[in-house]
Structure 1
Amino acid sequence: MSRRRRVWRWLPVVVTGLVAAAVAGIALAFPSLAATTCPTCYGMRQVRTGLYVESGLTADRERQVAQVIDAAGRRVADFYGGRRSSPDILACLTASCYRRIGGGGERGIAVLNRAIMLSPGGVNPVIASHEMSHVEVHTRLGSGAAPLPQWFDEGLAVVVSDDPRYLKPETAGDRCRVPEGEAPPRTLDEWLRTAKADPDAYAKAACRVSRWLRVNGGPGAVLELVEHVAGGGELPASLRAASRETPS
């Protein structure tokens, strides 16, 4: 009995140690996941609900960041007729901050569709609204629906953000800066490989989506599509194009 009591006395210590080790392992392996779960643990300061910036910024700089996020949110709300998503935003103004929270060479990234990390080059309405569009679409689709083709998701985010790098102004009629090319990559893995090898990947996807919107009636067609897919419906034939070969 004495030995059994000793075992039970040490059991909470052992369990606590295992949990701590697991948390530490996740933080090391997936720093962005850990940082978006506890932004203040990674040196971020909460400016308001859902918005974190790196510590040490002036009050004026914090207000500027908040204004950028508000402008990006308006772009998303204008396109989708409102917003159903409210991801946490982690905005870094220095490269060291972005590395600390697990960022890489990208300007911004959505993490598990519940948070967005922005690098110093991504704290602007274009990049922020691009990532917000991804989260908004996935929120509307829900967890049980089949994903949209990755090229459509990416091209749509370019359209929503009105990114001038990849699209001509709306007054141009046909907004394509480059031809849309062959059938684009459908899965995330295919997209990542293609985007790494082809500098025009985003422009091609944006071209294809902008033309799809023009033919199908604009933003309302996206809302109908997302609602249809969220309800278990199949993708229309125009979005079921087979993936092309990934450039080597």
Structure 2
Amino acid sequence: MTTEQRDLAALRRDYAERAIEVTELTSEPSAQFARWFAETDAVARKSDAAWFEANAMVLTTCDQGAGPSSRTVLLKGYGPEGFTFYTNFASRKGRQIAADPRVALLFPWYPLERQVIVQGRAERVPEWESDAYFASRPRGAQLGAWASEQSQPIPDRAWLERRLAEFSARYPDRVPRPPHWGGLRVVPEAVEFWQGRPDRLHDRVIYRRDAAEESGWSRTRLSP
């Protein structure tokens, strides 16, 4: 065993005694997600977990040439219809989603030793929904959406700051939403809830769309 392996082995710890009981889960995943999100957000707001954002999620997209790529984005809405975030449509993730809308989301909720994995298809939200959210953003974030040609190479930081100043002068009052910026909603096909358990015998339950079920979803326990 190398020194690095020994050092990492020393980080091993057991998980708390929490459990998932299938009979206690909701019949469809958005309600169960709402339960877990509320519990996680309550922990995140405590001072000892100030570093943690419950709505931070890892979005994975796929490029036919480069393969999968992941990045952290912020969840801005959720419900039975899906999970919503906002981005520059011309960014790498925006271009990849336009070419292949199949995506995955991962919510790494470390404080409660949980994670939620969503698999589905991303689609644009209605224009009015993007307009409403953009109008709620701070002015600096609104201007940043104009200034940043997201994912494109730039010569230096000064170039970005000049762009910000240019758009600030162009829009001294109301900042309109850029046509290349808006919301994407991930409509789930499968949602897995994972709870860490002692001895690495974790609890995993996956919801899958199933027209034969009254709720439209089946629930299956998976081996860890």
Using structure 2 for the length normalisation, give the TM-score. 0.23
Which structure's residues are more often strand, by fraction?
2
